[in-house]
Amino acid sequence: MKYSHLYAPLTLGDLTMRNRIVMAPMTRSRARQVDDAVSSLQVAYYGQRADAGLIVTEGVHPSADGKGYNRTPGLYNDSHVTAWSGVTDAVHARGGLIACQLMHCGRVGHALNKAPGTRFLAPSALPARAEIFTESGMMPMPVPEAMTDAEITAVVDDYRQAAARALEAGFDAVELHCASGYLPAQFLATGSNQREDRYGGSLANRLRFVAETLAAIISETGAGRVGLRISPGNPYNDHIDAKPLETYSALLQLADRLGLAWVHAIRMSSTGIDSLALTRKYFRGALIGSDSFDAGEAERFIARTALDAVSFGRAYIANPDLVVRFACDAPLNALDKRTIYAGEGASGYTDYPMLAERNG
């Protein structure tokens, strides 16, 4: 086979992937706005892509407060467990694996995207200097509330409960989103964390929230079913840290000590940090690389052990049968950027043609 390394099985903590093609986590803004639940749309969407070695879901908020974006799904009550069970059943019916990515947005978001009465919680009362999409257009982000110790403890427990619900819903693993300026990253970064207590100041203190959150998740799932998403130096959502190389080196050493199954690292040359090499240096578990790979480049990175697996994003939006297309060097469907985020409809979500349909 041309891509023999890409199609080789991989042990990922407690999981065994049948190939090393990962569907990347991608917000698609099609959950039900009224209750943050997934529906038959997501059952079809993820089920179509179940021949991936592993699917990582779009970011899923562990509490109503943790929501930031329009029409993103939650996992914080029994109805969410029931709804997500349909998704995991569809993936497992085709022999696939699926991980739930837990994403608490913290200060990132807008009131128009959240339920009435929900809060914006963050390490410090500092707004993200950025705008966010709402159904009324782009809006500046609000000033968040600085979390008390009791609120930090409560949010850590929200993550724990979400991890437990993920297993109940049939997910095979959980990935903690610790990138893109969301709550865990807000605690890590000096630009968003200006606390003077045990959660702020020193690097050890800024790591504490992530350490406690990972420990809480592991208490429900075991370390062999937990991954970590990182993007060192990425300024998205006003994520600014004075010493990102130092911060993420320490974070990776924490992940290694905890025995996490994988780190999912986004490469971004503009940051000046080689996130893939950095992860390999400090983390002994599996490394999933992300961002703008094609099949050939993925094969080369895996062949030389620079990566263990590669996640694909935009290509997976337009090509539900990406695993088949790569295997036979078939052309890929073009991505319709207009329908990446498009409310509740199936257009541009579950209606991209499979290769078999194209060849008719």
Query: What tens digit of pLDDT does each residue of 68-108 get?
Result: 999 999 999 999 999 999 999 999 999 999 999 999 999 99
Tokens (6 digits) for 241: 């840290």
Look up 199 and say whether it is catalytic.
Answer: no
> What are the structure tokens assigned to 77, written together?
């009550």
d(CA 60, CA 185): 16
Looking from the CA of 4 toward its CB, the CA atoms found within 13 Å total 3
Exactly one of 3, 182, 248, 352 is catalytic; which is it? 182
Which of 242-246, 255-259, 300-304, 343-347 comes out lowest in average pLDDT? 343-347
Q: At a CB cut-off of 8 Å and minimum separation 6, what does 125 contact? A: 143, 144, 145, 146
**CA torsion sign, 32 to 36 to 41 to 45?**
positive
Range 245-249 average pLDDT: 98
pLDDT over 80 at 344, yes or no: no
Better-predicted residue by pLDDT, 115 or 358: 115
Whole-model pTM: value is: 0.97
Q: Are strands 21-23 and 137-140 parallel, antiparallel or unpaired?
A: unpaired
Across 294-319, average pLDDT: 98
28 near 101, Cβ under 8 Å? no
Q: How many whole angstroms separate alpha carbon 323 and alpha carbon 268? A: 25
CATH class of 10-359: alpha beta
What would the pLDDT profile of 14-58 be if each residue is shown by its tens digit?
999 999 999 999 999 999 999 999 999 999 999 999 999 999 999
Instruction: Report the pLDDT averaged over residues 106-120.
Output: 97
Which of 315, 354, 359, 347 minimizes the C-alpha distance to 48?
Answer: 354
C-alpha dihedral sign at 158, 161, 165, 171: positive
Give the model's pLDDT for residue 269.
93
Beta strands in the chain (DSSP E): 10-12, 15-17, 21-23, 54-60, 98-102, 121-122, 131-134, 137-140, 145-146, 173-177, 226-230, 262-266, 286-290, 309-312
Other C-beta atoms closer than 10 Å to the C-beta of 338 total 9
Instruction: Give the Cα separation of 188 and 22 in Å (integer).
Output: 27
In the prediction, which pLDDT does 357 show? Answer: 62
pLDDT at 360: 46
pLDDT score of 181 = 98
The phi and psi torsions of 211 (rounded to 5 degrees) equal: -60, -45
Query: Using one digit for the tens of pLDDT, what is the confidence trace for 150-162?
Result: 999 999 999 999 9
CA distance 247 to 232: 8
